[in-house]
Structure 1
Amino acid sequence: MSTRWFSGSALLIVASLVLAACRVGAAQGGTVRVVSDLPMTGSALGESQSIVNAIRQALSEKNYKACQGRWTIDFVPYDDASAARGAWDPEVVADNAHKYVGDQSVAAVIGPLNSDAAKILIPILNPAKLVIISPSNTYAGLTKPGLGAEGEPDVYYPNGERNYARVIPADDLQGAVGAEWARVLRVKSLYILDDGELYGTGIADVFEKTAGTLGLKVLGHESIDPRAADYKALVARIKRLKPDLIYFGGITQNNVAQLIKDIRGGDYKGKIMAPDGIYEQAFLDAVGSKAGQGLYVTFGGIPPQELTGRAAEWREAYIQEYGPNVDVYAVYGYIATQVVLEAFERVCAKGKPLTDRAAVRDAVLATKDFDSVLGPFSIDANGDTTITTMSGSLVLGGRFEFVTQLGNR
């Protein structure tokens, strides 16, 4: 009887000591690391640098401190691209991921830019309970069942727990509003192309499905070879079908500029539409003002120049610090960082250290009614933002010009 009492008391004492140690660790603080995983080499450098700038902006507003100054935040921007590819590289992404897992000071990862990179990053970080929050990934299969390949999204979460969130609407929304916009533009028939990557095929598939439900005639859907020298034969074949619109799902780095040049050069008279994978200066530079003129582009958010209220104030502050080139994903990088910072505060409030990865992960995924510069939003059970506002733009005179708001908040 006394032995049982002693054993129980010992367990209570040990548990109390562990809890006290955790509280002391949280109270004393230390240094914690936040990293970004973005392509800082190649044509995506501009948009990646803009996100990095926005991350620094959010951190500097807090003097790189958290929890009443007890914790210092060390920010390290990682490059997930290689010079050989000139774009994000699967091997580099995987190597980075293992570095994050091994560095116990890393509490959160902001990124990646590309959905295909997220497909590699998430399952490596998942067993380590390390949270990822992306300002730009939109492939629906990363978070939502029934909208991607078989087994998605569970295949990315081997320990059965989610560790990924995003602050930008997913492709099942953008692809759908793109098709609806095509209907508004009086399109009756269309041909769909994609770049064969996760993001491109995902958004193109949603566009195709929605177009069909809207009564638009889909004349065909195929993937291009991103390394092709030209697409003249493909364009000639599509042109014979006389579609009112050609839709391309993909990113700048997969040769879309050459594709559009060949479409224009083939004397195609219909409309061309693409999603925000090409919404960057690098695309405008590559395609040129003549070939790009009149291109319809959807974006899973609001362009920087159209931001109002607190978001406009954020943009002005960004420009004063980093210059006039504000990429479309910058504000989402800023918001993603703020979500992490707010999660840090809630972790400390529970008496836990910021090196407790599971606690940080759970706090990020539990984000509710967050008061961002774009308005209040929550992270739902899948890891998706509740913001659904999107926009449509035209390429005019070598610039993206806002035309209309798509979707709803």
Structure 2
Amino acid sequence: MTQRFVLRSVAAATLLASGFAATTQAQAADAVVRIGHVAPISGPQAHFGRDNENGARMAIDDLNAQGLTIGGKKVHFELVAEDDAADPKQGTAAAQKLCDAKVNGVIGHLNSGTTIPAAKVYNQCGLPMITPSATNPELTTFGYKGVFRMLANDKALGAGLAKYASQTLKLKKVAIIDDRTAYGKGVAEVFRDTARTLGMEVVSEQYTNDKAVDFMSILTSIKSKKAEGIFFGGMDPQAGPMLRQMQQLGLTKVYMFGGDGICTDKLKDLSSNARTLGNVVCAVGGASLDKLPSGKAWRTKYDAKFPNQFQVYSPYTYDATMVLVDAMKRANSVDPKVYGPKLAQANYQGVTAKVQFESNGELKNPAMTLYTYKDGKKAALN
């Protein structure tokens, strides 16, 4: 027997053992509670989706370790994960699939462009939904009673970045680029309007899409307008190449501003660690994990379980899953119709925040953290 065969045999035995343990645990439970999760697991934003799903899986594991009893029945939690590829049509299809499967609740989606149309589907089938990352303010304007958000929306992020550009960096001229998605367009418009209110001149407004990788003509046009900062409304698969091309065009003293969509650990790799990475100022709708009481311990646990996969939102998917189940516990029911109203009364101390919701589903008193990149690593500015 070769060493390779032995190692494979041991690995297979370990997987079988863990699978057997999970199956045994599920069989021992009186009820299986299925929680849906939707994010892009394929395509250029898959690293975001995997990170989100990891957070939800970690919560499911921790909940199952508690051996909870709800409604007089011992329950076992399972995650039903779907891929929406950051595409609105695929997102609504995934939402309908979870409705048809009669899952007990939903964590997701990641993008505003998928979350907003999916929320209508969940509302129609009576499924509570908590998004850990969709920040477009429009989401909570439809009056859907079962829709909740775990972090600050784009009004806070876009305005906060504009204030930093004006009041701290003293910039006078800025340009805007957005990817025309619900997220990118929304956060860019908030930055633009706030910048003008603060007296900054918006010298150029340019548009791209969430599949583009060539921004040379856009950046060349902006260079001619002598912008001191560029706000990009979009995600890191575009922000990375944009930073490389800014360096190629000599825009090495121009700041790049962006929301949480670009504020990832992976931005260093996507930008090939361009010198312009150090000019990034980005905002995330929550407090820095390093500054939260249980944040460092949670991150250490996450990294041990999912090495080199952390991006931004996994702590929020973790908390969202916990908040959903906390409502079930308080209602003593896993029926969405019964526990759903309890979500609106959430008062849960999570990893990311003390989770309480406004009447429209927005998080009460959301924090916001600005970041930059020092020696290729994301570092909090506040």
Q: TM-score, normalised by structure 2?
A: 0.84
Deviation at 1:55, TM superposition (A): 1.6
Larger radius of gyration: 1
2:221 is matched with which residue? 237
SS at match of 2:240: helix
Contact 2:242 / 2:271 at 8 angstroms: preserved in 1?
no
User: Number of matched residues?
Assistant: 348
Deviation at 1:226, TM superposition (A): 4.4
Of residues 84, 92, 95, the one that matches 1:94 is 92
Whether 1:296 and 2:296 are equivalent positions in the alignment is no
1:3 is matched with which residue? none
CA distance in 2, matches of 1:98, 1:308: 36
User: After the TM superposition, which residues 98-109 of structure 1 pair with which residues of structure 2 at under 5 Å, given as runs?
Assistant: 98-104=96-102, 106-109=103-106
Deviation at 1:229, TM superposition (A): 5.8
SS at match of 2:354: strand
1:215 is matched with which residue? 199
1:71 is matched with which residue? 75
SS at match of 1:309: coil
Contact 1:66 / 1:344 at 8 angstroms: preserved in 2?
no
Decide whether aligned partners of structure 1 residues 225 and 317 sit closer, same or farther in structure 2, where only a CA change above 3 A counts: closer
CA distance in 2, matches of 1:161, 1:236: 44
Deviation at 1:228, TM superposition (A): 4.8
CA distance in 2, matches of 1:46, 1:116: 17
Deviation at 1:80, TM superposition (A): 1.5
| Unmatched runs of 5 consecutive residues or more in structure 2 | 1-28
Decide whether aligned partners of structure 1 residues 228 and 326 sit closer, same or farther in structure 2, where only a CA change above 3 A counts: closer
Contact 1:66 / 1:73 at 8 angstroms: preserved in 2?
no
Of residues 255, 269, 273, the one that matches 1:271 is 255
Amino acid paired to 1:80: D
Amino acid paired to 1:248: F
Decide whether aligned partners of structure 1 residues 371 and 308 sit closer, same or farther in structure 2, where only a CA change above 3 A counts: closer
SS at match of 2:221: helix
Q: Deviations over 1:289-323 (max 9, x none)?
A: 1242322222222344x243222222223233333
User: After the TM superposition, which residues 1-400 of structure 1 pair with which residues of structure 2 at under 5 Å, given as runs?
Assistant: 30-63=31-64, 65-68=67-70, 70-81=74-85, 88-104=86-102, 106-143=103-140, 153-154=141-142, 161-183=144-166, 184-228=168-212, 230-253=214-237, 255-268=238-251, 269-290=253-274, 291-304=276-289, 306-323=290-307, 325-348=309-332, 353-354=333-334, 356-367=335-346, 369-400=347-378
Contact 2:54 / 2:306 at 8 angstroms: preserved in 1?
yes
Decide whether aligned partners of structure 1 residues 72 and 142 sit closer, same or farther in structure 2, where only a CA change above 3 A counts: same
| Unmatched runs of 5 consecutive residues or more in structure 1 | 1-27, 82-87, 144-152, 155-159
Decide whether aligned partners of structure 1 residues 98 and 225 sit closer, same or farther in structure 2, where only a CA change above 3 A counts: closer
Amino acid paired to 1:77: A
Q: Deviations over 1:50-108 (max 9, x none)?
A: 22222222222221654355232221221112xxxxxx22332122111111112x011
Amino acid paired to 1:378: Q
Identity of aligned residues (%): 26
Amino acid paired to 2:236: T
Deviation at 1:225, TM superposition (A): 4.1
Decide whether aligned partners of structure 1 residues 375 and 91 sit closer, same or farther in structure 2, where only a CA change above 3 A counts: closer
CA distance in 2, matches of 1:288, 1:131: 40
Contact 1:289 / 1:396 at 8 angstroms: preserved in 2?
no
> After alignment, is 45-54 or 195-204 more displaced?
45-54
1:401 is matched with which residue? 379
CA distance in 2, matches of 1:300, 1:358: 30
Deviation at 1:35, TM superposition (A): 1.1
CA distance in 2, matches of 1:328, 1:387: 20
Q: TM-score, normalised by structure 1?
A: 0.79
Decide whether aligned partners of structure 1 residues 119 and 400 sit closer, same or farther in structure 2, where only a CA change above 3 A counts: same
Decide whether aligned partners of structure 1 residues 265 and 109 sit closer, same or farther in structure 2, where only a CA change above 3 A counts: same
CA distance in 2, matches of 1:315, 1:234: 38
CA distance in 2, matches of 1:347, 1:245: 50
Contact 1:107 / 1:360 at 8 angstroms: preserved in 2?
no
Amino acid paired to 1:113: L
Contact 1:140 / 1:170 at 8 angstroms: preserved in 2?
yes
Amino acid paired to 2:261: G
SS at match of 2:124: coil
Amino acid paired to 1:92: Q
Decide whether aligned partners of structure 1 residues 295 and 90 sit closer, same or farther in structure 2, where only a CA change above 3 A counts: same
Q: Deviations over 1:372-393 (max 9, x none)?
A: 2234231111111114222122
CA distance in 1, matches of 2:213, 2:255: 23
CA distance in 2, matches of 1:126, 1:90: 16
Decide whether aligned partners of structure 1 residues 259 and 162 sit closer, same or farther in structure 2, where only a CA change above 3 A counts: same
CA distance in 2, matches of 1:120, 1:267: 41
CA distance in 1, matches of 2:265, 2:42: 15
Decide whether aligned partners of structure 1 residues 248 and 63 sit closer, same or farther in structure 2, where only a CA change above 3 A counts: same
Decide whether aligned partners of structure 1 residues 372 and 277 sit closer, same or farther in structure 2, where only a CA change above 3 A counts: same
Decide whether aligned partners of structure 1 residues 192 and 91 sit closer, same or farther in structure 2, where only a CA change above 3 A counts: same
Decide whether aligned partners of structure 1 residues 188 and 301 sit closer, same or farther in structure 2, where only a CA change above 3 A counts: same
